[in-house]
Structure 1
Amino acid sequence: MGENGNRYKGLVNLAYSPDSVAGADGDVDPTEITFPGCSCLTSSCVVDECSCLCRGENYSRLCLRPTDTEEYTRPVFECNALCRCSESCQNRVVQRGLQFRLQVFKTEKKGWGLRTLERIAKGRFVCEYAGEVLGFNEARRRIQAQTSKDSNYIIAVREHLHGGEVMETFVDPTYIGNVGRFLNHSCEPNLFMVPIRVDSMVPKLALFAATDISAGEELSYDYSGRFHNLPTTTREQKSLEEDNRLRKPCYCGSRTCSSFLPWDSSLFSTPDTCSGSSA
């Protein structure tokens, strides 16, 4: 499925947008350009010469370069609209949008799902999870207004920065979004999410292939934002068990299925009790 068209007719009442947009509260504008551009005059930027690659090379032949740890923690900054390098620069990947043929389809128990119609190699960018970028208060208001029958599409991504600061990004594709909205959760996912920054500190929530994916295979990621389904800590498990009465069942069918979809209790907390823990 391409990036064109205004609505998925016959599926949901969704206004289609390939990129994230400012939410109803207007607290965050993901389209604002605040980063300076690099001065590279070559067709493709290289490490040690490009200011956008001061943290190291991000991609190798369109694949996200792996890190030495299981958790992908190195910040990724792509060249942006103000950069002088060419549009074919190897440090421009996520901003190019969909490169694979994807299909929305009806699953047996999980509602709509998303699958690939062609093989995807490990490390390749698959799609962005795009929608309205909200502030915390608006994200919490929408979550608390939901009933037990409503599907929750709001994702909360928390990044731990130097100095102990936590940066939160809330994206809601309920009314405005792209194909990422149809991705289902799996406790053994074939995609993982990495915040990618292009024009500003507001990240694109990019989903990459965690393994080689065959044509016809359903695409999925871990809604908790964990990388390669890392196990929960004892404290996290206890907290999840206490919240089971509010959680929805998981039908991913994996061998390590936790029986429930991931749960972010902070969005149900009051401002004074919000923990701000990692999602």
Structure 2
Amino acid sequence: MAAGLCRRGRGLGMAELSGGSEAVAVELWPPGEAPPAFQYSPESVAGADGELDPTEVTFPGCPCRRSSCQAPECPCLSRGHSYSSPRLRLAEQQQQPFSRPVFECNSLCCCGEGCQNRLVQRGLRLRLQVFRTPRKGWGVRALEPVPAGSFVCEYAGEVLGFAEAQRRIQAQSPQQPNYIIAVREHLHDGRVMETFVDPSRVGNVGRFLNHSCEPNLFMVPVRVDSMVPKLALFAAVDISAGEELSYDYSGRFHNSPGASREHKPVEEENSLRKPCYCGSRTCASFLPWDSSLFSTPASSP
């Protein structure tokens, strides 16, 4: 359920972004300032186009009656990659965090709420702060240490079909921030599954995460009740309290300095791309740009 913009934190005198809809307060800094109004929602919602409903339950539940499911008995765990613990084993994953999809146990499952295969669905559990940055507008930082592999937050917003995502992004002026993210998953049969999430009108704390060419978070599509994934962000490294959180808007993860990146976009695209201020040694100068959302209807997928 969506909540209002902000309220005062629980007895702390600090402005709180989620309106009490998160289990943990999301602080705002500095006092007296706030981002432009939007509707806060801890989870993604169906977009105005009504094409996809992320709350629809279409997956069957597992019959496991133990407190925590285990492979290979649990059909949810058998569908794809699973959590071996609340922290992911990044040491085994190198530069591709997941080679298989992630399916959590869902609302129809017989296992308990404490099942280790229920993680992202529990929502925000870390103390985060949305703060004003010197050059990048608003950003997000951790108010406590975050161990590598920990779930940080979801990137929640309106789930749109391609046509509506394209319409919205083409209607933006160059001065407006672009919140729409396009996630493309390559399926085993060669098909590509696209998910478009726009938190500009309805969203959560994830909408304030900035891009970095050397990020400390990575994104994983996690499915719970249906094929519409939750876009979950995990810590790629140990993160200190007070450190800004970031991910690569292009979906890449821990690229080496020599990795192929679109450092020099064609001249006609320069006017559509925004400069990157991440300050990393491998900075690509521009924020990632999805040309498919600017294509004409005849050439769009």
Q: Secondary structure of 1:192's match? A: strand
Of 135, 155, 168, the match for 2:161: 135
**Match in the other structure for 1:52:** 76
TM (normalized to structure 1)?
0.92
Give the 5 Å matches for 1:123-202: 123-202=149-228
Of 233, 241, 244, the match for 1:218: 244
2:143 is aligned with 1:117: yes
2:292 is aligned with 1:266: yes
Range that drifts further, 69-78 or 166-175? 69-78
- Once the two structures are superposed, residues 24-52 of structure 1 have per-residue CA deviations (whole angstroms, 9 ceiling, x without a partner) of 00000000000000000000000111011
Cα distance in 2 for partners of 1:102, 1:65 equals 23
Q: Mind listing any 5+ residue stretches in structure 2 that lack a counterpart?
A: 1-15
* Cα-Cα RMSD: 2.1
Cα distance in 2 for partners of 1:243, 1:232 equals 21
Shift in alpha-carbon separation, 1:164–1:237, aligned structure 2, 3 A: farther
Q: Secondary structure of 2:163's match? A: helix
Given that 2:159 and 2:198 are in contact with CA atoms closer than 8 Å, whether structure 1 keeps it comes out as yes
2:86 is aligned with 1:62: yes
* Counterpart amino acid of residue 155 in structure 1: I
Q: CA deviation at 1:266?
A: 0.3
Cα distance in 1 for partners of 2:17, 2:117 equals 23
Cα distance in 2 for partners of 1:206, 1:75 equals 12
Shift in alpha-carbon separation, 1:95–1:214, aligned structure 2, 3 A: same
* Counterpart amino acid of residue 109 in structure 1: R
Of 79, 90, 93, the match for 2:116: 90
Q: CA deviation at 1:154?
A: 0.2
Cα distance in 1 for partners of 2:18, 2:71 equals 32
- Once the two structures are superposed, residues 170-198 of structure 1 have per-residue CA deviations (whole angstroms, 9 ceiling, x without a partner) of 00000100000000000000000000000
* Counterpart amino acid of residue 184 in structure 2: R
Q: Secondary structure of 1:162's match? A: coil
Q: CA deviation at 1:243?
A: 2.2
Given that 1:78 and 1:91 are in contact with CA atoms closer than 8 Å, whether structure 2 keeps it comes out as yes
Q: Secondary structure of 2:167's match? A: helix
Given that 1:34 and 1:200 are in contact with CA atoms closer than 8 Å, whether structure 2 keeps it comes out as yes
Cα distance in 2 for partners of 1:199, 1:220 equals 27
**Match in the other structure for 1:22:** 46
Q: Secondary structure of 2:271's match? A: helix
Of 273, 287, 297, the match for 1:247: 273
Shift in alpha-carbon separation, 1:123–1:258, aligned structure 2, 3 A: same
**Match in the other structure for 1:208:** 234
Aligned length: 274
Of 20, 33, 40, the match for 2:57: 33
Identity of aligned residues (%): 69
Q: Mind listing any 5+ residue stretches in structure 1 that lack a counterpart?
A: none
